[in-house]
Every structure is written in C-alpha cells, then in structure tokens.
Amino acid sequence: EDQVTQSPEALRLQEGESSSLNCSYTVSGLRGLFWYRQDPGKGPEFLFTLYSAGEEKEKERLKATLTKKESFLHITAPKPEDSATYLCAVRGGADGLTFGKGTHLIIQP
Amino acid sequence: EAGVTQSPTHLIKTRGQQATLRCSPISGHTSVYWYQQALGLGLQFLLWYDEGEERNRGNFPPRFSGRQFPNYSSELNVNALELEDSALYLCASSLPGSDNEKLFFGSGTQLSVL
C-alpha cells in the first residue's frame, strides 16, 4: 500500500525566512510525485511533477526536489501570499494518487 | 477556459438521507476523479471514471457510488448518509491517458450531515 507522510504538519515563518517542507513516501514503483497547493475553500492547485531521483523543478520562490525516499519543497524568501496548505501525492502501482495530509504554511509579514 | 465546476457548493443533509454531487470536467478531459477530504485527514481517493466506465475505486463502502455521463460530467451519490460522511468532496479531471496524472481540481462540495 502506497503511503505518504508530510512534515511538519504546520509551519509559521516570517516573510523572507526560507525553509523546506518534507514529503516521505513508500510506493511500489514510483510513477510520479506531485506537489499541490491548496488555499482555504478551494481545491488543490497543481505545482510540480517529479518522476526520478535527482530531478528538480522550480517555479518562482518554490523548488521541488526528489530522492528515492522523499521529496522536499524548498521555499526561498517567502511572501505572505505563499501561505497555504501544501500537499504531496504519489502515483505508484495503483491507479489514482495517494495524498499526504499536507503542511499548513503561514508566512507572517 | 472554464475549470472544473462542482455543484452544489454546500449541501446539508440528515442521517440516512441520500446526497448527489455533480462535477463538470474541463473541456477535452475524459477522466474524472472523486476525492473525500475530511477534517484532519488527507485527500482520500474515492472513484475514478474514464470514458464512461468506472476504472477504480478506493476503500469506501458500496453506498458511495457514481457514474459518468456521455459528456464526461460525473455524479457522486452517497446513500444512507452517516455523520462521518461530513467532508469536502473534490472532483478532479485530467486529459485522456492513464499516465496523465496532472489533475485539475474543482473547489469542492462541502457536505454536512446532521
């Protein structure tokens, strides 16, 4: 059974204070690791897909990296508008995505 | 281009009743996924429809069912509602092809069971 664990559950940062969110996974044959952003009252919004260890992708202040056991979402010099819940998901042997519970990120001005 | 639309936005039911939730995918998307997001839990996979057929279902009882129509819109039905069914139900769509897992989500239906 595919499993995804995200840490920390919640993170409060000052504006400009860089940090990383962790996603540890157990999957039989990784067919993709996905990062989504979810704002309150809305559905998740796609950010990145990573397929193999060593792969990195960037978008504005966000960079996602992947190893064989975990993925990191690095946030550089965050702004208050980066506040959201960040979700990690994997696609393994089964169809459909397995999601983690998310990291609730708050960026204080 | 319109995104994934879900209706209703909010739905209030009592125990034992039935609920019907609707989803319209992005134009050109043939796959529709349903997820349940209960408070404190991650998104739990419910159902996957593609080309009108149910392709897979998650670990939920049979009272959770659905269908996909010829225009690729979808309906989720929950029978004999229980209090623990209270959650945000999210619909997502994707392009044809089972390898395409870039899902586009709607804003969800908040179901409250009293």
Share of chain A above pLDDT 70, in %: 97
* pLDDT tens sequence across A13-62: 999 999 999 999 998 888 899 999 999 989 999 999 999 999 999 999 99
- Distance CA(B87)–CA(B40), nearest Å, equals 10
In this predicted structure, what is the pLDDT of residue B99? Answer: 55
Share of chain B above pLDDT 70, in %: 95
Q: Are the beta carbons of A43 and B58 separated by less than 8 Å?
A: no
Of the listed ranges A70-84, A87-101, B57-71, B72-86, the one predicted with least confidence: A87-101
- What phi and psi, each to the nearest 5 degrees, are found at residue A80? -55, -30
In this predicted structure, what is the pLDDT of residue B1? Answer: 65
Facing A41 at nearest CB: one of B102, B104, B107: B107
pLDDT at A96 over 90: no
Say if A102 is an interface residue toward chain B (CB within 8 Å).
yes
DSSP of A9-21, one letter per residue?
A: SEEEEETT--EEE
* pLDDT tens sequence across B13-35: 999 999 999 999 999 999 999 99
Q: Are the beta carbons of A99 and B48 separated by less than 8 Å?
A: no
Residues 16-35 of A with CB under 8 A from B: 31-32, 34
Helices (H) and strands (E) counted in chain B, each on its own, are 0, 11
The residue that leads in pLDDT, A91 or B4, is: B4
In this predicted structure, what is the pLDDT of residue B100? Answer: 56
Q: Are the beta carbons of B101 and A34 separated by less than 8 Å?
A: yes
In this predicted structure, what is the pLDDT of residue A95? Answer: 63
In this predicted structure, what is the pLDDT of residue B101? Answer: 67
Measured in whole angstroms, the distance separating CA B66 from the mean position of its chain's CA atoms is: 8
CB < 8 Å to A31, chain B = 99, 101
In this predicted structure, what is the pLDDT of residue A2? Answer: 86
Say if B9 is an interface residue toward chain A (CB within 8 Å).
no
Q: Are the beta carbons of A95 and B98 separated by less than 8 Å?
A: yes
CB B26 within 8 A of CB B1: yes
Q: Are the beta carbons of A97 and B101 separated by less than 8 Å?
A: yes
Residues in chain B: 114
pLDDT at B97 over 70: no
Question: Of B101, B91, B5, which Cα lies nearest the Cα of B43?
Answer: B91
* pLDDT tens sequence across B46-71: 999 989 999 889 999 999 999 999 99
In this predicted structure, what is the pLDDT of residue A41? Answer: 85
CB < 8 Å to B109, chain A = none
